[in-house]
Structure formats: C-alpha cells, structure tokens
Amino acid sequence: MERRFIIIDGSSLMYRAFFALPLLTSSEGIYTNAIMGFSNMLGKILTDYKPELIAVAFDKSRKTFRTDMYEAYKGQRAKTPDELKSQIPLLQEFLAALGIAFIEKDNYEADDIIGTLAKKSASEGYEVLIVTGDKDALQLIEPQVKVMLTRRGIMDMQIFDEEAFKEKYAGLEPKKLIDIKALMGDSSDNIPGVPGIGEKTALKLLTQLGDLENLLDNIDEVSGKKLKEKLEENKDLARLSYKLATIFCDVDVNFVPDEYKIAPDILKLQAFCDKYELKTVLNRMKKIFADEFKSDSEEELTLDFSANEMPQYQILNIDNIDEFKNDIKVQGKCSILMQTEGKVPDVNIKLMAICVSDKIGILKDDFALVNDILADENIIKNVYDVKSFYHAGLNLAGKINDVLLMAYLLEPAKRSYEMNVIRQIAEVEETTDYEQLKDEEKIAYDIQHLDEICKTLQEKLKDMQMDKLYQDIEFPLAKMLSDMEMVGIYINEAKLDEMNAQMNSELNLLEQDIYGLAGEMFNINSPKQLGEILFVKLGLPALKKTKTGYSTNAEVLENLIYAHPIISKILDYRLLNKLKTTYLDGLKALINPTTKRIHTTFNQTVTETGRLSSSEPNLQNIPVRTAEGKKIRSLFEPGEGYDQILSADYSQIELRIMAHMSEDKHFLEAFRNNQDIHQATAAQVFNVPIDEVTPQMRSRAKAVNFGIIYGISPFGLAKNLHISPKEAGEYIDNYLRECSGVKQFMEKIVQQAHEKGYVTTLFGRRRYLPAIKSRNFTQRSLAERMAMNTPIQGTAADIIKIAMNRASDAIKKAGLKSRILLQVHDELVLEVVDKEIEQVSEILREAMQNTAKLKVPLTIDINYGKNWAEAK
DNA sequence: TACGTCACG
DNA sequence: ACGTACGTGACGTAC
C-alpha cells in the first residue's frame, strides 16, 4: 500500500467552500454552507486518494477573510465574515468525529504548518498531497510533494507537480515562486514587491538571471533604464518581500504518523449531523467509511442506504450480455450513456451504461460488445450528446433521440445542459442527492429515467412544433459537426513561429517607445494603469468612464490620437498584442501534435438564437478586417493532399430574410433585381435616383440597415454614425416611413413577443423573452430588440445548418475528396483538390441557395486561394 | 470571479 | 429620467 499523506489547508478551503455554496442555515439558524462545501471536498479526496494519513491545518489568527470579496459578491445578500467564522467550530467538531487531526499553532499560518509537515513526512518516505486554494503553496512542490489547487468553486481541482509548475511559470523551479512573488508582490497577502513589476517582467528577469539575489547583484545586465532604476531603488523592498513570501518550514510540530491516522466515530458523527441537519454529509461519510462502520453497527448501515433510492445495476461482460441484447431486440429500443476521455480526434470511452426496461448494465472495458446494437437500425436509441458518440468512433444507426439537443431546442437560454438540468426541463423529479454520487452511480442514476425524460421532451417538441427542427436540422447536423471537428484545419506552424518572432520584436519596440513617452514603466495591458498614465499623469481629457474607472478603449483613444504621440503607439501595441496573444500564442497551443491540425469544438447548444459557436480555439473570429489580421488568416492552408482553401458565403443573408419576413416592397424589389442593397436603400430614404447616391449616403444607409437587423434605436445608431440621437432618430423615422413594410413587421414581431412571450424563426425555433413585460425600460427595450433580431439571426442560422447537412450529404454521395472544415455563421470553409473545384462549387450552390424558398433569391459568393486570406 | 477590451458574423 | 445597437469567445488584470 502506498504511504500517502494528505494535508489540507483548512483555512483557504473553508473560505472557498463558503463562497461556492449559497448561504445555508439549519433550522436553529446556524450557518452550514462552508462545512457542507468542505465535507463535499473532503469526501471526494478520501474516495479518490484513499490516503493512509490526513491532517487539516488552520490559521491560528483566523484572519482568513478579505473584505473586498464579499462586498463584490453578487446574486444574493453579501455574506459576512461572521457567517464564515461561526462555522469554524463546526469544522473542528466534524473533524473530531471523523478522527481527523486538526492542527493550529499560535503565531503561525496554515501554510507554515503544512510546509513543515510536508517536509518532515516526505523525508520519511511519504507521498504528500497538499490540498489548498492558495497558490503560495506551490513553492512547496518537490519530487514527493504535490499540490492540489482548487479552481472555480471548490470541487474543481488541479494537481501541480514539478513539471506542471514549470509549464505554468516559464520553466522555473517551484522554489522560484518566492522570487517571483518578491518581485511582483501580492496585494492579497500584503507583499509589496517591486513597484511596476508584474508577473510578465518578473518571469522574464528570473529566466534571464536565475534568482532574486543574483538579479540584485547584477542589475547592470537588465535591459531598460527605467527597470534598472526601479530595481536599484527597491532592493530592500524586494528582499523584505522575499522573506514575507517564504513559507516557514520549521514550525514546532512533530510528525508522528499515528496522530494522522483516520479514526471515525460513528456515534459522534451521527450526533453532529443530526444537530446541524447535515443528512447528505452523513450519508456520504457513511458510504466512504462503510468498512469501518460495518463491524460497529450493522444496522446503521442498512438504514443509511434506504435513504437514497439508488438504482440496481450489473456489470456487463461477454457472459451476461446476450440476455441483455435479447431484451433490447424485443423492446426495439434502449438508452445508452457514456463517459469519454481525451480530446478530438483522440477520444476514448471510459464508461458506458445501457438500459432496457428497468434493467441497467454497465460496461467498463469491452465496449465493442454492443457494437451490433448500436449499428442496428431497427433499435431506437435514447442518448445524451450524440456528437460525443461520433467522436468516440461509434457507428450509430436507427432513430436517435439526443436529450441534449432536444433540451436545447426547448429551452435555449440555459447556461448548461447537465443531466440534472435536463431532468428539470423534462420535469422528472430527482430522488437522491445527485451531486454526492460516484461516477458509476451517477451514470446508472441518469440512465434509469432516460426513456421517460425522452418521451416528455419529444412530446413537448411536438406540441411546440419543433420536432422537425430536431429531426431534420439539429440531429443530422451533429454528425456533420463531428466530422468537421475530427478533420480539423491545417495551420502553417513554421510561418506562425516566424510571425510570432516578428511581432515580438515590434511589440518590444513599441513598449520601449510607450515607456519613454510616458516617462515611466507601467503595464500597458492594464486599463487601470493606462488610464492613470493618460488621464492623470499626462493630463489628457477623459472622454468616457466605465463603472470602475476611465475608459481606454479604441474608440476613446482614437479621439485622442492628435492629443499626444503616445496614443497611436498604444493603439498599435493593443492591436499587435491582441493578435499575438489570442491568435498566434493561442492557436499554436492548440495544434494537435499528431495531426498537425487545429480541432475546434463547434458548440451546438450555446447560443439563444440558434447559431453555432466555436471554442478552443474559436475559429469563428479569426481576424480579417485589418491588414495585420489578414496575415493571421493566411496561416490557414489546405492540408496535405489538398490544393486550395475555398470559401462560400451567403450574400446579405440577414437582410434577405428581413425582406422575406417583412415583405417590404422596396427590399423585395431591390433583391429581386440583384441591386446593391445599401445603395438602393439610400436612394429610397434620401429620395434620390439610384445613380446619384453618394458613398456617404450609402454608408449611412448601410448603418441603418444594420440597425434594423439589431433592433433599431436612435441611441445605438447615433453612436455608430457619430451623430446626435436626434439626427439618428430622424434617419430612422425617414427610413421607416419609406420602408413601411419593415416598420409593420417590426411592430408585429414585438407585439407577438408580448402576447406569446416568445419569438420564432422561419423554421419554428423559439426564443423566450420574459423581460419584454418588464417595467424596467432598459430591460424591456433590450427584450424588444432581441424580439426583432432573433427571428432574423435565427433563421439565417437555420438556413446555413440545413445547407451544411445538404452539402455534406452531396459531397459524400458524389464521392469527392474535398471536405467542409469550418462554418462562420454565413460562410462555409472547405479544403478542396483542384480537379474538384467546379463540382464542389456546383454542389455548394445547389445546397446553399436552394435551402429555403424565400420571396427573394438567396445567393452565395465562392472564392478560393492558397490560404484562407486569399479565398476572398 | 468580474470587468474591460477586442476579434468575428 | 432612464441608458442600449444583435450574437459569440479569449485574453489579461484586479479584486
């Protein structure tokens, strides 16, 4: 057995747990959310790591509460320090019942105790895992000491060993965290650091000169005059910071293994949980310590499990699978769930559950046993997230009900569609404390009601007339998206590296120029520091404020461009820095080492309008508008065996949909005659012949057309055109008077939203807008603009989704090698071979232009070239 | 975690 | 008097 010692930072984890959960109270009014969160975390660690020894360290001073956090806390009444402190005795009581050592020492922080214990136990051969929410502890990492950090909330953990640390901190050793802190400081720990040095500079200096002492001895070697001065002036402060940042590993605590063995006392635990009404905590702990408790009190244990209605399941294998399959064939349907691991295109199945009638089976390794069931087109399958099945290489046939996609269509405004959310959408009650279950139990629990959930969701879809939307659009699209994701897109890494080096040197020059013009070093990336420099030190006029300070966005800066030479440098710096960090660094990190391609995720259940979104990386916002940006786009090239990147994009699809829906006669006519729509609009609203429309008139008309799509308002248009709201209002009035069809349509759609509470697309996709009844002007106005925009944006999304399905089928049917790689809302991007270009173009025209029979034609433009930038 | 900023349609 | 153009995702800073 492994000798594993887990040391928990009680202070920081209580604090995290306190914030992660809503404020809970027992009926006697005692706060219990921190203890609840803490016990969840403890339970998970005990189950996952089964440590031999465990200890919880605490700050004796208990000054573990930063006022800034709870003041900023939103969504409910702010939590107070007293509410946290009152839960500390509960934690002590809880740990005493579990027989877990609780250590605190006068004048020492939890970190110091942890450091000391880690050092001593490691030297006696223990594998140490420190669990904390405080990054400081990373300096304690050694070959035998790892640190587990909580990220968001408390249950999301990340383990750091030496390697992981180096990856995060520019290859530096964990011990160097102290040197980093000594330079950059830490406001939350009251470590001053050297003013003007942030993480970026600290890492650069330490990579160059090793450690703080060596750096302070060799300040000459540092580049940048200002930086040198700063270091020179603040030597003592840096040394003091170093001391403050160092965790003291020589506290007077002895490491006696026996003191840290876990010795739970069932009666005490029961009394504790009864007193504070922590039933789920008791159940969880009983399950974990089932063996210990069995000998003591058999009865308690049976009582315990009757509290939860857990499904019974069997582990399936070659010997018992046939009976299961027989049942499925007789029923003609089954439910299948799985858990996967790995990233596209290397996805493996971790766990699979299969359910027929009330029988639940779990497969742990030989997943191929059910391949014939999956491929049987006579068997209906209920699943969750069909795209992940395709990712795992499974061949699915027969009617597939994906509860994820169905739930999204029913309620597209949900932030997530975990199974518990879907149960709620299907109005199926949860009969257990779901979050407390282990993986295997969760999947068994999820699958037992899947058929019932599915039936409800299907009925709802049918009632709302969205069953076709599921069957004809969203479900087939999942396969298409999976194919695109797995194929990925090739990016020229050598060119990317070259561009990165080039941008780095340009950024360094700009940085120096900016520091020179400002007269000091500061963090250009910090809007706060930048605002201070521009509007206080340099005394430039502050034109706009944000809720936290001065606004420094591009619009503000452009207005100041003649006021000071620093402004244009900052704009250039921002542009280049954005391109480098988001695109060059961001894309490089996501190149798959095996395929050398980038595999984005197309999210099918994110937007409220029905659009797709793309993430990790987002390939729907690759630069195109500036010359510098186009260089990034030019990195995307056809992969091996392909000749060109081809782009097919809809021309003015949203305005065409608006024309169709509103039946405005001017728009219908302009599109039917294939006119330049903005020019035609200008002629109409400015009442001039079409060939007398000036470029300015056209660009104003264009802005108004955009405004119409977004849900027009004088303020928005005024801002966009840099005119007064009054003047903008006149434009709008004029426009709506001339285009009365548009006006009627917009009024009708807002009225419909009021009456029904939702708006729909041409294909029946629905978006609820409850705020439309709000008495708050801002919220109601926003809902009204959404009511106008969603049918247009959403219909465009429906149309391109259908087109993708059709195009993909046609390409497959024609047996072509060319393939679709990306969708960018109104554009499809393909890699093609030269000899197929004509045929592919023909297929795309047919698939995209004839998707929907609108009252105006839908047209596409096709372009191709040696890279994505040239396919324009 | 929240905010500001900026990339795209 | 109020105070916004619609829909996204990623990065960096500061809290």
Convert the pLDDT of each residue in A342-367 to its tens digit.
Answer: 999 999 999 999 999 989 999 999 99
Do A275 and A222 share a domain, yes or no? no
Q: For strand C, list residues 606-665 of chain A whose Cβ lies within 7 Å of it.
A: 606-609, 611, 613-618, 620-621
pLDDT for A36 equals 80
* Distance from CA(A700) to C1'(C5), angstroms, rounded: 15
pLDDT at A118 over 50: yes
What is the pLDDT, as a whole number, of residue A401? Answer: 98
Look-up of token digits 């820095």? A577
Residue A66 lies in a domain: yes
Nucleotides of C under 7 A from a protein CB: 1-15
Highest mean pLDDT among A27-41, A193-207, A376-390: A376-390
Structure tokens at A518: 């400002």
Does a structural domain hold residue A790?
no
> Which residues 6+ apart lie within 8 Å of A572 measured at CB?
A510
Residue-wise pLDDT tens digits, A626-658: 999 999 999 999 999 999 999 999 999 999 999
Residue A799: predicted pLDDT: 97
- Least confident stretch, A120-129, A188-197, A268-277: A188-197
Q: Would you say A361 and A443 are in contact if contact means Cβ atoms under 8 Å apart? A: no
CATH number of the domain bearing residue A445: 3.30.420.10
Domain end among A532, A562, A590: A590
- Give the 3-state DSSP-derived string for A105-126, with helices as H, strands as E and coil as C: CCCCCHHHHHHHHHHHHHHCCC
Q: Which of residues 520-539 of A touch strand C (CB under 7 A)?
A: 523, 525-526, 528-529
A296 burial level (CB within 10 Å; 0-12, 13-18, 19+):
middle
CA angle in degrees (0–180, nearest 5) for A869-A572-A527: 120
Q: Report pLDDT for A184.
A: 84
Q: Determine the pLDDT at residue A187.
A: 64
pLDDT of residue A67: 41
Distance A624 CA to B7 C1' (A): 9
Choose the final residue of a domain: A709, A738, A767: A738
Residue at token pair 């434009």: A731
For A595-599, the CB contacts below 8 A with 24+ separation are: A595/A345, A595/A488, A596/A490, A596/A493, A597/A487, A597/A488, A597/A489, A597/A490, A597/A491, A597/A639, A598/A488, A598/A489, A598/A490, A598/A491, A599/A343, A599/A344, A599/A345, A599/A485, A599/A486, A599/A488
A289 shares a domain with A348: no
Output A200 or A515, whichever has higher pLDDT: A515
How far apart, in whole angstroms, are the C-alpha atoms of residue A300 and residue A35? Answer: 23
- In three-state form (DSSP H/G/I as H, E/B as E, the rest C), the secondary structure along A151-185 is CCCCCCEEEECHHHHHHHCCCCCHHHHHHHHHHHC
pLDDT band at A188 (very low <50, low <70, confident <90, very high): low
Q: Which residue has the higher pLDDT, A365 or A191?
A: A365
Identify whether residues A158 and A296 lie together within a single domain: no
Residues A222 and A269 occupy one common structural domain = no
Q: Give me the CA A680–C1' C12 separation in Å, rounded.
A: 44
- Rounded to whole angstroms, how far apart are CA atoms A869 and A634? 5
Asked whether the predicted pLDDT for residue A296 surpasses 60, the reply is no
Higher per-residue pLDDT: A743 or A217: A743
Å from the A254 CA to the C11 C1' = 45
pLDDT of residue A299: 41
Residue A590 has pLDDT above 50, yes or no: yes
Lowest mean pLDDT segment, chosen from A43-57, A94-108, A141-155, A552-566: A141-155
* Residue given tokens 């009404």 in the structure block: A277
In a domain, A162, yes or no: yes
Residue A646 covered by a domain:
no
pLDDT tens, position by position, A361-393: 999 999 999 999 999 999 999 999 999 999 999
Residues 787-806 of A with CB under 7 A from strand C: 789-790, 793
On whether both A345 and A240 belong to a single domain, the answer is no
Residue A281's pLDDT is 79
pLDDT at A20: 67
- Check pLDDT > 50 for residue A708: yes
Looking from the CA of A833 toward its CB, the CA atoms found within 13 Å total: 10
Nearest to A735 by CA among A713, A763, A757: A713
- At residue A2, the pLDDT reads 67
Q: What is the pLDDT of residue A358?
A: 86
- Rounded Cα distance between A356 and A325, Å, is 9
DSSP H or E stretch at residue A79: none
Contact of A455 with A333, CB cutoff 8 Å? no
Look at A72-86, A180-194, A622-636 and tell me which has the smallest mean pLDDT. A72-86
pLDDT band at residue A76 using 50, 70 and 90 as cut-offs? very low
Separation in Å: C9 C1' and A132 CA? 30
Per-residue model confidence (pLDDT) at position A204: 80
* E-strand stretches of A391-496: 400-402, 489-490
Would you place residue A225 in the very low, low, confident or very high pLDDT band (cuts 50, 70, 90)? Answer: confident
- Inform me whether the pLDDT recorded for A661 exceeds 90: yes
Three-class SS state of A31? strand
Residue A808 in domain: no
pLDDT range class, residue A73, cuts 50, 70, 90: very low
User: At A557, which CATH number?
Assistant: 1.20.1060.10
Angle separating helix axes A725-738 and A714-721, nearest 10 degrees:
110
For the CA of A287 and the C1' of C8, the distance in angstroms is 44
Q: Which nucleotides of B are covered by protein (CB under 7 A)?
A: 1-9
Does one domain contain both A455 and A396? yes
Residues A160 and A57 in one domain: yes
Share of residues in chain A with pLDDT > 90 (%): 59
Q: How many CB atoms lie within 10 A of CB A619?
A: 25
Same domain flag for A85 and A113: yes
Give the residue numbers spanning the domain of A515.
501-590
State phi, psi for A831 to the nearest 5 degrees.
-110, 135
Examine the pLDDT at A69 and tell me if it is beyond 60: no
- A:691-730 Cβ neighbours of strand C under 7 Å: 703-704, 706-707, 710-717, 719-720
Number of residues written out for chain A: 872
Q: Does some domain include residue A621?
A: no
Strand order in the sheet with A827-832: A819-823, A827-832, A644-650, A860-865
- Of the pLDDT bands very low, low, confident and very high (cuts 50, 70, 90), residue A77 is very low
The span from the CA of A338 to the CA of A601, in Å, is 19
Average pLDDT on A728-754 reads 94
pLDDT for res A22: 60
8 Å CB contact between A403 and A450: yes
Separation CA A812–CA A249 (nearest Å): 65
Q: Which domain CATH number covers A163? A: 3.40.50.1010
Distance from C-alpha of A648 to C-alpha of A830, rounded to nearest angstrom:
8
Q: Do residues A136 and A202 both lie within one domain?
A: yes
Partnered with residue A644 across adjacent β-strands are A832
**Does residue A415 lie within 7 Å of nucleic acid chain B, judged by its CB?**
no
Looking at A132-146, A612-626, A730-744, which range is the least confident one?
A132-146
Those residues whose C-beta lies under 8 Å from the C-beta of residue A132, and which sit 6 or more positions away, are A8, A9, A12, A13, A114, A147, A148, A149, A150
Look at residue A389 and tell me if it is in a domain. yes
Smallest CA-to-CA distance from A219 within A183, A177, A166, A170 is with A183
| A294 lies in the same domain as A187 | no
Task: Give me the mean pLDDT over the A845-865 stretch.
Answer: 96
Split at pLDDT 50, 70, 90, the class of A284 is confident
Does residue A819 have a pLDDT over 70?
yes
Residue A533 lies in a domain: yes
Same domain, A670 and A529: no
Does nucleic acid strand B have an atom less than 7 angstroms from the CB of A547?
yes
Instruction: Name the region of A196 (left: φ>0; alpha: ψ -120 to 50; beta: rest).
Output: left
Which of these three, A463, A492, A512, is where a domain ends?
A463
A744 touches strand B (CB under 7 A): no
- Answer yes or no: do A116 and A9 share one domain: yes
* Domain count within chain A: 5
